[in-house]
Amino acid sequence: MSVTIKTPDEIQKMRIAGRLGSEVLDYITPFVKPGVTTEELDQLCHDYMVHVQDCIPAPLNYCPPGYTPYPKSICTSINHQVCHGVPSDKALKKGDIVNLDITVIKDSYHGDTSRMFLVGGEKSASILARRLCQITYECLWLGIAQVRPGAHLGDIGHAIQKHAEDAGFSVVREFCGHGIGASFHEDPQVLHYGKPGTGIELTPGMIFTIEPMINAGKAAISELSDGWTIVTRDRSLSAQWEHMVLVTESGVEVLTLSAGSPARPDIVAHLLP
């Protein structure tokens, strides 16, 4: 495993890319409502990234080995879709939950983040949907709270797994967070389950994503015929949140924050400065 330690110049570029990725989510938030199609959300985000931010949408035509090129600029995963949902002409309905996953490229560096949205507002979603989205958000931040020099990747995974499973939910194991920089996906792989003290040791200058995918039912997943969209095999709801983080000399810096970012949850108030 070859983990790239970022230089101060690279870190500054990734601060900018991370903030811009988050600002796309700020921009699109008012448009996520019943009746809008995910294709319309994709076009709005594309135009904002390209024409307002002067960025490149990283997912568009992204083609890892064994895949066909991804056809859209964002990923939109609805209800039982776990990740990599492809925007389409299907309209969102009141009570749906949807993850919007944004990755921009600015000055050759990536900013990668995602948020959950309750379509029609919090009162429109079921109790289960609201609880799943909240627990998953807490999982993200409990993972972030483990990041510091000398900690291990397994500490992150363990914190996420324990919180999800204590709530009666399950952790998707086939997909994980990842190193990121001038490349979309780099080492290390950041698992969302694990044992404390295992995995590589964190050192200042590492940048990676934490992006837990938590299912209301069982952890098993399937891939749809489009070759991209991942769904829960039992069709239970799934939620995901994502931030991109930097290991600093004293702890962690979240690089994908912006004016509209949701506040961090109370559960980590005593764990982070």
Task: Say what the pLDDT of residue 141 is.
Answer: 98
Render pLDDT for 207-217 as a digit per residue (tens, 0 to 9).
999 999 999 99
Given a cut of 90, whether residue 1 has pLDDT beyond it is no
What contacts 43, CB < 8 A, 6 or more positions away?
none
Render pLDDT for 243-261 as a digit per residue (tens, 0 to 9).
999 999 999 999 999 999 9
What contacts 41, CB < 8 A, 6 or more positions away?
28, 31, 32, 74, 76, 87, 100
**DSSP class per residue in 73-129:** SSEEEETTEEE-PPP-SPBP-TT-EEEEEEEEEETTEEEEEEEEEETT-GGGS-HHH
What contacts 252, CB < 8 A, 6 or more positions away?
144, 145, 147, 148, 245, 246, 272
Render pLDDT for 175-191 as a digit per residue (tens, 0 to 9).
999 999 999 999 999 99
Task: Say what the pLDDT of residue 191 is.
Answer: 98
Task: Say what the pLDDT of residue 27 is.
Answer: 98
Q: Which domains are present in the chain?
A: 8-257 (3.90.230.10)
Instruction: Count the alpha carbons within 13 Å of 108 in the hemisphere toward its beta carbon.
Output: 4
Calculate the alpha carbon distances from 120 to 12, 32, 86, 197, 257 in Å.
37, 8, 21, 42, 24
pLDDT band at 52 (very low <50, low <70, confident <90, very high): very high
